[in-house]
Chains A and B, each alone.
Chain A
Amino acid sequence: MSDFDLKVREQDGVIVLNTNGYLNNFGGEQIASLCLQKISEGQRKFLVNLEKTEMVNSIGVSILIEVIEELQGVNGKMAYCNLAPIVEKTFNIMGISKYAKLYTNEEEGLLDLNT
């Protein structure tokens, strides 16, 4: 059983996902599954708060690329905030930050996603 869980809420028109634990394939699938469901319901803005995720792996992160691809087709946006330095570096190496903005904190992300 993987040590990962996800809390979801909607704030100011943005779906905010708070992760907790190691973002592996199961974590990536949980995030992707939820985002794809919300996209099908018409949601277009997503902010993933990784404050409680100290470590990721490339399989988990690569699953998130599917969400970026899906959002590109509907003019949606995906962003991340509160990344640990190693997670930010991983996102930069993989090029995630080219297609999803990285914010210092949730407030900054929510503000920018709504401008």
Chain B
Amino acid sequence: MTTQTPKVELTLPVIQDMELAATKTAEVVAKQMGLDEMKTAEISMALIEACINAFEHSKSDSNVYIHYIIDGDTLIIKVGDSGVGFDQEVVEIPNIDEKLKADRKRGWGIKLMKELMDTVEFESTDGGTTVTMTKTKQ
């Protein structure tokens, strides 16, 4: 017997490559929902970026919390950290032509998440950031 909106919760310590544990869980949840291979891979890739941001940008040694919520045909993923937060208004949209000339080549995570998922929203305060991403089966 399942609840109407089944939820899986995962807690990740900030350890190298631990984002792959999040993708394994996503694969199981996506399979349960009947999502196709490409959508599942897109979710995994977006999740990797969300986890890396949480690990690196949170400036915190605490855990990262992930909720996978099955809402009908839509998978909702929330990735939360307890870091210092960020202002998404000041995050530049990266461009390869500019990155080739720039000293800093990184900064692609948010762009990738937005391109790979149906919706991506950030809630950020001094006490942490939660990114909520959705992907619908269609």
What residue of chain B has the Cβ atom nearest to residue A54's Cβ?
B41
Number of A-B contacts (CB under 8 A): 72
Name the contact of B100 in the complex, choosing from A22, A56, A65, A85 (C-beta under 8 A).
A65
What residue of chain B has the Cβ atom nearest to residue A92's Cβ?
B115
B111 interfacial by beta-carbon distance below 8 Å: yes
Known pairs A62-B99, A66-B105, A93-B111; A55 contacts B23 (CB<8 A): yes
Q: Ordered nearest first, which 3 A-B pairs have the shortest CB separation?
A: A95-B96, A86-B41, A58-B108
Question: What are 23 pairs between A and B in contact, CB < 8 Å?
Answer: A2-B17, A3-B17, A22-B20, A24-B17, A55-B44, A57-B19, A58-B49, A58-B52, A58-B106, A58-B109, A59-B52, A61-B108, A62-B105, A62-B108, A63-B105, A84-B41, A86-B38, A93-B111, A93-B115, A94-B94, A94-B111, A95-B99, A99-B96
Interface residues in chain A, defined as those with a beta carbon under 8 Å from any beta carbon in chain B: 2-3, 22, 24, 55-59, 61-63, 65-66, 68-69, 72, 84-86, 89-90, 93-96, 98-99
